[in-house]
Amino acid sequence: MTTAAIAAGRSTAEAVGRWPRARRVAALALGALAMTWPAILNGYPLLYPDSMTYLEDGPRVARALFLHQTSAYYGMRSLLYSLVILPLHRNVNPWPVVVLQALLTGWVLWLTVRSIARGHPTAKYLATVVVLSVITSLSWFVSLIMPDILGPVLYLAIYLLVFGRETLSRWEKWVLLVVAWWAAASHATHLMLGVALCVLLSAVLSLRRDWRRMRGVAEAALALVLAAAVPMALDMVLYGTPSVQLESPPYLTARAIADGPGRWYAERDCGQRFAVCAYVGRFPDDPDIFLWDPAGIYHNAPKSVQKQMEKQDAAFALAAVRRYPWAQLRRSMANFRDQLLTFGVDDFDPNEWTLSQFDMTLPGAKARYEESREARNLLPMEAFTTLQNWAVLVALVAVGILLPLVWRVHDVRVRPMALVAITAFVVVGNALLTGTMSTLDERLQSRVVWLVPLAAAMLLLAWMERRWVATD
């Protein structure tokens, strides 16, 4: 064979190798684009009132860390999320944050589909992402400047590290660990659910003596430990006190008062023990009003009293629970039920406070936001919420039908079954955590409920894979 022929053959082989890689990159790009359609339709990234605080807090933290320009206050939300997205938006343009969230989510979904699909994973990934983007809240949370989408990214990363590790390359495992760390550090709920999931998996795998998969649990647990340790170290640098969330509002106090036991305890037993007891007779029935209404107790209290409420939050709620345990249990279970069944995208409506923060947080961008559908209340939120409700219902029926079918196909059943179990744990756990400790909010459950149609889609793929098993 001549040198020219050898060179031609090598060139052809390299071209053949590049084609699948290029096809995967194109699929990931198209999937990411599909997940941003609400922002594209809106004409601007979706914003929630909390979005402005995440955008605003990053510069203060960066100035303290890199320029030694300290401040008395850095924010009440995840400083790591604010810090990581700061180089992307630079308080000028939030679109790069949406791009990052779309690419990260798309990549983790690609790994998830690939862990189950043996034949044509690229096409199956693209079909899965497009369908989920159209019928579920996945795309809405990718398009939202908030860490909400990172919760499902974390739970899928844990699934991949434990059950899909054979399908991952070394660099994919390392990147997944970094992504899991940032996702867990970006919101306290993500961290708590991630820890609970690792504890559950450790118990199940220990009983089964599946030490090979326990290594994945250990790796995920290490990422979660770092997700708790790094914010504590950051708070030590900024405040001089190690704490995961120093400035957290008194969510538990507001919840206990709205439920009843906190109100009764304050009226009958509190005295002057807790700062909130000075407001007896003015308690609202809605925890949102207690926390955020301009005339609300916490929002309108002097800064020193706010600090006291924050420090006494857990102690007050615990005292109320000890005094009225069964009443609080009944109310908490009702809140859990309501949160489990309440999910939609009705929270993306115009907000005067959000608009008022533009001049300080995104100078010069206010006019562009005012032209968006969100600012003009023109987003199809009600129609889309109905669509997602039906999608989740159909997915639950599909899971019920497909579970026994996939269970019979031994060679393909472990990963989809594990994904279904993790999804069930996350959806129920998220409702239990947010419903009992925070306010009833459609957004809180909607950010994870799209995992149910994803699990149904993966079961369908696994059932289709039986033909590949038969021919292997």
Give me 302's structure tokens: 């002097």
Instruction: Express each pLDDT in 394-412 by its tens digit.
Output: 999 999 999 888 887 655 5
Is 469 a residue whose pLDDT tops 70? no
**Alpha-carbon gap, residue 177 to 227, rounded angstroms:** 11
In this structure, of 75-79, 264-268, 392-396, the range with the lowest mean pLDDT score is 75-79
Q: What is the mean pLDDT of residues 210-227?
A: 93
Instruction: Express each pLDDT in 158-206 by its tens digit.
Output: 999 999 999 999 999 999 999 999 999 999 999 999 999 999 999 999 9
Locate all alpha helices (DSSP H) within 79-210, ordered by sequence. Answer: 79-89, 95-116, 121-135, 138-142, 150-163, 170-185, 188-207
- Contact between 449 and 137 under an 8 Å Cβ cutoff? The reply is yes
What pLDDT, on a 0 to 100 scale, did the predictor assign at position 247? 60
What pLDDT, on a 0 to 100 scale, did the predictor assign at position 440? 80
Beta bridge partners of 46: 144
What pLDDT, on a 0 to 100 scale, did the predictor assign at position 405? 86
What pLDDT, on a 0 to 100 scale, did the predictor assign at position 462? 87
- Contact between 355 and 375 under an 8 Å Cβ cutoff? The reply is yes
What pLDDT, on a 0 to 100 scale, did the predictor assign at position 455? 96
What pLDDT, on a 0 to 100 scale, did the predictor assign at position 24? 83
Helix (H/G/I), strand (E/B), else coil: 46: strand
- Contact between 386 and 135 under an 8 Å Cβ cutoff? The reply is no
Is 13 a residue whose pLDDT tops 50? no
3-state secondary structure 429-460: HHHHHHHHHCCCCHHHHHHHHCHHHHHHHHHH
Is 427 a residue whose pLDDT tops 90? yes
Domain boundaries, the chain: 26-247+342-467, 251-340
What pLDDT, on a 0 to 100 scale, did the predictor assign at position 37? 96
Is 2 a residue whose pLDDT tops 70? no
What pLDDT, on a 0 to 100 scale, did the predictor assign at position 303? 84
pTM: 0.90
What pLDDT, on a 0 to 100 scale, did the predictor assign at position 226? 94
Is 5 a residue whose pLDDT tops 90? no
Cα diameter, the chain = 97
In this structure, of 106-110, 242-246, 434-438, the range with the lowest mean pLDDT score is 242-246
**Alpha-carbon gap, residue 340 to 100, rounded angstroms:** 29
3-state secondary structure 187-248: CHHHHHHHHHHHHHHHHHHHHCCCHHHHHHHHHHHHHHHHHHHHHHHHHHHHHCCCCCCCCC
Is 292 a residue whose pLDDT tops 70? yes
Is 115 a residue whose pLDDT tops 50? yes
Give me 236's structure tokens: 């030590």
**Alpha-carbon gap, residue 358 to 366, rounded angstroms:** 6
Cβ partners under 8 Å of residue 80, min gap 6:
182, 185, 186, 230, 231, 234
Handedness of CA 314, 310, 442, 259 (dihedral sign): positive
